[in-house]
Amino acid sequence: MPNDQQAPGEVSYDFSGATVVVTGAGRGIGLEIGRAFVGWGATVVLVDRDGAELAEAARAIGAHGVQADVSVTEDVDRAVRSAVERTGRVDVLVNNAGILRDNVVWKLTDQDWDDVLATHSGGTFRLTRAVVPHMRAQGGGRIINVTSYTGLRGNPGQANYSMAKAGIIGFTKTTAKELARFGITVNAISPNAETRMVASIPDDKLAELAATIPMGRFGSPEEMAPAVGFLASRAAGYITGVVLPVDGGISI
Ligand SMILES: NC(=O)c1ccc[n+]([C@@H]2O[C@H](COP(=O)([O-])OP(=O)(O)OC[C@H]3O[C@@H](n4cnc5c(N)ncnc54)[C@H](O)[C@@H]3O)[C@@H](O)[C@H]2O)c1
């Protein structure tokens, strides 16, 4: 069967004994990444600030949910503590939580700017800082960040978001260099999937965007998970500091 027809659920990894923390996992891409890791045998901790959605998501896939805002240090530290207390370890961190506050740059408010940077950049930093001591003590780990083609190409109306997502690429490469000696790899995916975040983009802009996808369609959230599984797997043990687009070619 050609690879492009392989259902994401058919991809198989063995993460039994591993603890995986996924942020922004109450829905969308994060939820599907969490679901995939549960299927691959991991103990999965879903982190989201939306408690109701999180509880339902955790129940539905057989994961643990920790309500936390990734932009708040105390919340992040509590979430990581909760994962470590449960299993004694944290093997994989997926920094996926994100928001949009789109507007052209001359109309962006301080709040639009600060919220987006605090969530994407601040969250990725805080979670990374919190898991590294545990991963070092264990002798290794995997960190997978979620960036965007917007950070690579720019996109009108997303100066705040593209600043944050480009920053995540620099952060990924810097932390990959800092943490390699401890057996910790740091990589990123650049997704493109039909989620509520995409649904919030106005129809005319969405049509414009869809027309730039070489594969002619948005991906599904489920299609993002195998790439994360690969980067977290033993097979990717010698890969660090890369950005893997899973985007139908939109970033080309
Ligand atoms: N959907 C796409 O095409 C696309 C493209 C490029 C990048 N991304 C990135 O992928 C990631 C997931 O996006 P999605 O499309 O699934 O979005 P989504 O809006 O469906 O889900 C995002 C989740 O993050 C949570 N969240 C937001 N702020 C948070 C915070 N401060 N603390 C904890 N949780 C928080 C939300 O409650 C929500 O559950 C984001 O980082 C996004 O920027 C998505």
Dump pLDDT digits (tens) for 115-174.
999 999 999 999 999 999 999 999 999 999 999 999 989 999 999 999 999 999 999 999
Predicted local confidence at residue 1, as pLDDT: 40
Q: How far is the CA of 144 from the centre of ligand 1 (A)?
A: 14
> What predicted TM-score, i.e. pTM, was given to this entire model?
0.96
The number of folded domains in the chain is 1
CA separation, residue 251 to residues 84, 99, 133, 205, 248 (Å): 36, 20, 34, 17, 8
pLDDT digit string, tens, across residues 36-58: 999 999 999 999 999 999 999 99
> Using a 6 Å cutoff on CB, does residue 34 contact ligand 1?
no
> Using a 6 Å cutoff on CB, does residue 97 contact ligand 1?
yes
The neighbour count for residue 166, using CB atoms within 10 Å, is 18
Two tokens, residue 223: 């299609």
| Owning domain of residue 60 | 14-246
Report the residue among 100, 172, 197 best suited for mutation to probe ligand 1: largest number of ligand atoms under 8 A from its CB.
197
* Contact between residue 190 and residue 247 where contact means Cβ atoms under 8 Å apart: yes
Two tokens, residue 230: 């690969």
Predicted local confidence at residue 206, as pLDDT: 86
* Contact between residue 200 and residue 99 where contact means Cβ atoms under 8 Å apart: no
Q: Is residue 180 part of a domain?
A: yes
161 flagged as catalytic: yes
CATH assignment at residue 182: 3.40.50.720
* Contact between residue 92 and residue 38 where contact means Cβ atoms under 8 Å apart: no
Amino acid identity, position 193: A
Q: How far is the CA of 196 from the centre of ligand 1 (A)?
A: 9
Q: Is residue 155 part of a domain?
A: yes
Q: Is residue 206 part of a domain?
A: yes
Q: How far is the CA of 73 from the centre of ligand 1 (A)?
A: 19
d(CA 230, CA 237): 10
Q: Is residue 251 part of a domain?
A: no
